[in-house]
Protein backbone atom coordinates (compact mmCIF):
# COMPACT_ATOMS: atom_id res chain seq x y z
CA UNK A 1 0.00 0.00 0.00
CA UNK A 2 1.28 3.47 -0.90
CA UNK A 3 1.10 5.99 1.95
CA UNK A 4 -0.04 9.57 1.35
CA UNK A 5 3.51 10.93 1.36
CA UNK A 6 4.50 8.71 -1.56
CA UNK A 7 1.48 9.34 -3.79
CA UNK A 8 3.38 12.16 -5.46
CA UNK A 9 5.32 9.43 -7.27
CA UNK A 10 2.52 6.89 -7.70
CA UNK A 11 -0.61 6.13 -9.69
CA UNK A 12 -3.84 4.35 -8.89
CA UNK A 13 -3.84 1.33 -11.21
CA UNK A 14 -6.92 -0.69 -12.09
CA UNK A 15 -5.03 -3.46 -13.91
CA UNK A 16 -1.88 -4.31 -15.85
CA UNK A 17 -2.23 -7.10 -18.38
CA UNK A 18 -0.74 -8.58 -21.55
CA UNK A 19 -2.83 -8.98 -24.69
CA UNK A 20 -2.95 -8.12 -28.39
CA UNK A 21 -3.47 -4.47 -29.21
CA UNK A 22 -6.96 -4.27 -30.66
CA UNK A 23 -6.95 -0.75 -32.10
CA UNK A 24 -4.96 2.02 -33.79
CA UNK A 25 -1.49 1.77 -35.35
CA UNK A 26 -0.13 -1.09 -33.25
CA UNK A 27 -3.17 -3.34 -33.83
CA UNK A 28 -2.25 -7.01 -33.61
CA UNK A 29 1.00 -6.54 -31.69
CA UNK A 30 1.46 -8.16 -28.26
CA UNK A 31 1.12 -5.22 -25.87
CA UNK A 32 1.18 -4.53 -22.16
CA UNK A 33 -1.82 -2.46 -21.08
CA UNK A 34 -1.59 -0.22 -18.03
CA UNK A 35 -5.14 0.77 -17.11
CA UNK A 36 -5.42 3.71 -14.73
CA UNK A 37 -8.35 4.20 -12.38
CA UNK A 38 -10.84 7.02 -12.82
CA UNK A 39 -12.61 8.97 -15.56
CA UNK A 40 -14.52 12.28 -15.55
CA UNK A 41 -16.67 11.19 -18.53
CA UNK A 42 -19.58 8.79 -18.70
CA UNK A 43 -19.84 7.73 -22.34
CA UNK A 44 -22.98 5.73 -23.01
CA UNK A 45 -21.08 2.87 -24.68
CA UNK A 46 -18.23 2.67 -22.16
CA UNK A 47 -16.91 -0.88 -21.79
CA UNK A 48 -14.54 -0.19 -18.89
CA UNK A 49 -16.87 1.12 -16.18
CA UNK A 50 -15.09 -1.23 -13.79
CA UNK A 51 -12.12 1.16 -13.98
CA UNK A 52 -14.03 4.18 -12.66
CA UNK A 53 -13.26 3.49 -9.01
CA UNK A 54 -11.43 0.19 -8.38
CA UNK A 55 -7.65 0.19 -8.20
CA UNK A 56 -4.51 0.03 -6.07
CA UNK A 57 -1.73 2.58 -5.66
CA UNK A 58 1.60 1.60 -7.23
CA UNK A 59 4.74 3.69 -7.44
CA UNK A 60 6.14 4.42 -10.88
CA UNK A 61 9.16 2.16 -10.45
CA UNK A 62 6.94 -0.82 -9.60
CA UNK A 63 4.75 -0.14 -12.63
CA UNK A 64 7.70 0.02 -15.01
CA UNK A 65 9.20 -3.15 -13.54
CA UNK A 66 5.92 -5.02 -13.94
CA UNK A 67 5.68 -3.87 -17.56
CA UNK A 68 9.26 -4.96 -18.24
CA UNK A 69 8.45 -8.39 -16.86
CA UNK A 70 6.26 -9.19 -19.85
CA UNK A 71 9.17 -8.78 -22.28
CA UNK A 72 7.03 -6.91 -24.81
CA UNK A 73 8.01 -3.86 -26.87
CA UNK A 74 4.61 -2.15 -26.97
CA UNK A 75 2.91 -0.48 -24.00
CA UNK A 76 -0.50 1.19 -23.98
CA UNK A 77 -1.51 3.49 -21.12
CA UNK A 78 -5.29 3.63 -20.95
CA UNK A 79 -8.24 4.02 -18.61
CA UNK A 80 -10.75 5.27 -17.71
CA UNK A 81 -9.08 8.54 -18.57
CA UNK A 82 -5.37 8.22 -17.76
CA UNK A 83 -4.65 11.97 -17.94
CA UNK A 84 -7.05 12.52 -15.03
CA UNK A 85 -4.11 11.45 -12.86
CA UNK A 86 -1.30 14.02 -13.30
CA UNK A 87 1.43 11.45 -12.63
CA UNK A 88 0.41 9.73 -15.85
CA UNK A 89 2.75 12.18 -17.60
CA UNK A 90 5.67 10.94 -15.50
CA UNK A 91 4.82 7.32 -16.28
CA UNK A 92 4.69 7.98 -20.02
CA UNK A 93 8.09 9.65 -19.88
CA UNK A 94 9.65 6.81 -17.90
CA UNK A 95 8.27 4.16 -20.24
CA UNK A 96 9.72 6.03 -23.22
CA UNK A 97 13.07 6.36 -21.44
CA UNK A 98 13.11 2.56 -21.04
CA UNK A 99 12.81 2.13 -24.81
CA UNK A 100 9.16 1.05 -25.09
CA UNK A 101 6.89 2.00 -27.97
CA UNK A 102 4.28 3.84 -25.93
CA UNK A 103 0.73 4.79 -26.84
CA UNK A 104 -1.79 6.75 -24.80
CA UNK A 105 -5.55 6.25 -25.14
CA UNK A 106 -7.34 9.42 -24.04
CA UNK A 107 -10.89 10.71 -24.22
CA UNK A 108 -9.92 14.00 -25.84
CA UNK A 109 -11.54 15.96 -23.02
CA UNK A 110 -8.25 16.87 -21.30
CA UNK A 111 -5.20 18.82 -22.46
CA UNK A 112 -2.63 16.63 -24.27
CA UNK A 113 0.02 19.36 -24.62
CA UNK A 114 2.31 18.05 -21.86
CA UNK A 115 2.37 14.44 -23.12
CA UNK A 116 5.90 13.33 -24.05
CA UNK A 117 6.49 13.84 -27.78
CA UNK A 118 7.66 10.24 -28.12
CA UNK A 119 4.20 8.93 -27.21
CA UNK A 120 1.63 8.05 -29.87
CA UNK A 121 -1.57 9.77 -28.71
CA UNK A 122 -4.84 8.06 -29.63
CA UNK A 123 -7.40 10.78 -29.02
CA UNK A 124 -11.16 10.18 -29.05
CA UNK A 125 -13.58 12.54 -30.72
CA UNK A 126 -16.82 12.02 -28.84
CA UNK A 127 -19.80 11.71 -31.19
CA UNK A 128 -23.35 12.67 -30.19
CA UNK A 129 -24.11 8.98 -29.65
CA UNK A 130 -21.60 8.90 -26.80
CA UNK A 131 -23.63 11.57 -24.96
CA UNK A 132 -20.34 13.35 -24.21
CA UNK A 133 -19.76 15.34 -27.43
CA UNK A 134 -19.77 18.60 -25.46
CA UNK A 135 -16.53 17.47 -23.78
CA UNK A 136 -14.43 17.45 -26.96
CA UNK A 137 -11.42 19.70 -26.44
CA UNK A 138 -10.98 21.37 -29.83
CA UNK A 139 -7.68 22.95 -28.75
CA UNK A 140 -6.07 19.51 -28.83
CA UNK A 141 -6.37 19.25 -32.61
CA UNK A 142 -3.62 21.78 -33.31
CA UNK A 143 -1.24 19.69 -31.20
CA UNK A 144 -1.65 16.51 -33.23
CA UNK A 145 1.21 15.17 -35.36
CA UNK A 146 1.57 12.40 -37.93
CA UNK A 147 2.33 9.88 -35.16
CA UNK A 148 -1.01 10.55 -33.44
CA UNK A 149 -4.50 9.25 -34.22
CA UNK A 150 -8.03 10.57 -33.86
CA UNK A 151 -10.68 7.94 -33.14
CA UNK A 152 -14.41 8.28 -33.82
CA UNK A 153 -16.67 5.58 -32.34
CA UNK A 154 -19.72 5.53 -34.61
CA UNK A 155 -23.00 4.61 -32.89
CA UNK A 156 -25.45 5.26 -35.77
CA UNK A 157 -25.82 6.67 -39.28
CA UNK A 158 -26.41 10.05 -37.60
CA UNK A 159 -23.07 9.73 -35.82
CA UNK A 160 -21.38 8.93 -39.12
CA UNK A 161 -22.84 11.99 -40.85
CA UNK A 162 -21.92 14.18 -37.86
CA UNK A 163 -18.35 12.82 -37.91
CA UNK A 164 -18.00 13.44 -41.64
CA UNK A 165 -19.03 17.08 -41.17
CA UNK A 166 -16.79 17.40 -38.10
CA UNK A 167 -13.76 16.36 -40.15
CA UNK A 168 -14.50 19.06 -42.71
CA UNK A 169 -15.33 21.76 -40.18
CA UNK A 170 -12.06 21.34 -38.31
CA UNK A 171 -9.80 20.48 -41.27
CA UNK A 172 -8.68 17.22 -39.69
CA UNK A 173 -7.99 15.12 -42.78
CA UNK A 174 -4.24 14.98 -43.32
CA UNK A 175 -3.34 16.20 -39.83
CA UNK A 176 -3.00 12.65 -38.50
CA UNK A 177 -4.58 9.24 -38.98
CA UNK A 178 -8.37 9.29 -38.65
CA UNK A 179 -9.97 6.10 -37.33
CA UNK A 180 -13.66 5.23 -37.68
CA UNK A 181 -14.81 2.33 -35.54
CA UNK A 182 -18.33 0.87 -35.25
CA UNK A 183 -19.74 0.88 -31.74
CA UNK A 184 -19.81 -2.75 -30.65
CA UNK A 185 -23.27 -4.31 -31.17
CA UNK A 186 -24.72 -0.96 -32.34
CA UNK A 187 -23.51 -0.43 -35.91
CA UNK A 188 -22.84 -3.18 -38.40
CA UNK A 189 -19.16 -3.17 -39.40
CA UNK A 190 -20.24 -3.88 -42.98
CA UNK A 191 -22.58 -0.89 -42.98
CA UNK A 192 -19.87 1.45 -41.72
CA UNK A 193 -17.41 0.12 -44.32
CA UNK A 194 -20.00 0.70 -47.06
CA UNK A 195 -20.65 4.29 -45.92
CA UNK A 196 -16.93 5.08 -45.92
CA UNK A 197 -16.45 3.62 -49.40
CA UNK A 198 -19.54 5.33 -50.83
CA UNK A 199 -18.32 8.73 -49.62
CA UNK A 200 -14.66 8.14 -50.56
CA UNK A 201 -13.92 9.26 -47.01
CA UNK A 202 -10.16 9.53 -46.26
CA UNK A 203 -10.35 7.61 -42.97
CA UNK A 204 -9.11 4.26 -41.72
CA UNK A 205 -11.81 1.73 -40.85
CA UNK A 206 -11.06 -0.33 -37.78
CA UNK A 207 -12.64 -3.10 -35.79
CA UNK A 208 -11.78 -3.72 -32.16
CA UNK A 209 -9.71 -6.86 -32.68
CA UNK A 210 -9.83 -7.85 -29.03
CA UNK A 211 -13.63 -7.96 -29.15
CA UNK A 212 -13.60 -10.06 -32.29
CA UNK A 213 -11.37 -12.52 -30.45
CA UNK A 214 -12.69 -12.41 -26.89
CA UNK A 215 -15.94 -10.41 -26.86
CA UNK A 216 -16.41 -8.13 -23.83
CA UNK A 217 -14.07 -10.11 -21.56
CA UNK A 218 -12.34 -7.61 -19.19
CA UNK A 219 -8.56 -7.60 -19.23
CA UNK A 220 -8.30 -8.72 -22.85
Domain locations in the chain as residue ranges: 4-214
Q: Residue 5 above 60 pLDDT?
A: no
Reported as a pLDDT band with limits 50, 70 and 90, residue 219 is low
Q: Residue 2 above 60 pLDDT?
A: no
Class of domain 4-214 as given by CATH: alpha beta
Q: Residue 217 above 80 pLDDT?
A: no
Closest by CA to 29, choosing from 75, 69, 70, 93, is 75
Average pLDDT over every residue of 25-54: 91
Output the pLDDT for position 82.
97
Q: Residue 3 above 70 pLDDT?
A: no
Report the share of the chain in percent with pLDDT over 90: 78
Average pLDDT over every residue of 112-134: 96
Output the pLDDT for position 25.
87
Triad 92, 110, 122: Cα angle to 5°: 55
Output the pLDDT for position 189.
95
Output the pLDDT for position 218.
60
b (16+ CB within 10 A) / e for 46-80: beeebbbeebebbbbeebbeebeeeebebbbbbbb
Q: Which has more confidence, 216 or 138?
A: 138
Q: Which residues pair with 15 in a beta bridge?
A: 35
Q: Residue 213 above 60 pLDDT?
A: yes
Return mean pLDDT, the chain: 92
Amino acid sequence: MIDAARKSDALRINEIFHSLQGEADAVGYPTVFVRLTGCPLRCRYCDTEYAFHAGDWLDLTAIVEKVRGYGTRYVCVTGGEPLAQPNCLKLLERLCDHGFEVSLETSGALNIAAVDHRVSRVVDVKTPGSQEAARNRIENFELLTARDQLKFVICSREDYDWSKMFLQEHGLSGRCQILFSPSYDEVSPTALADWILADRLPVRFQLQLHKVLWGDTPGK
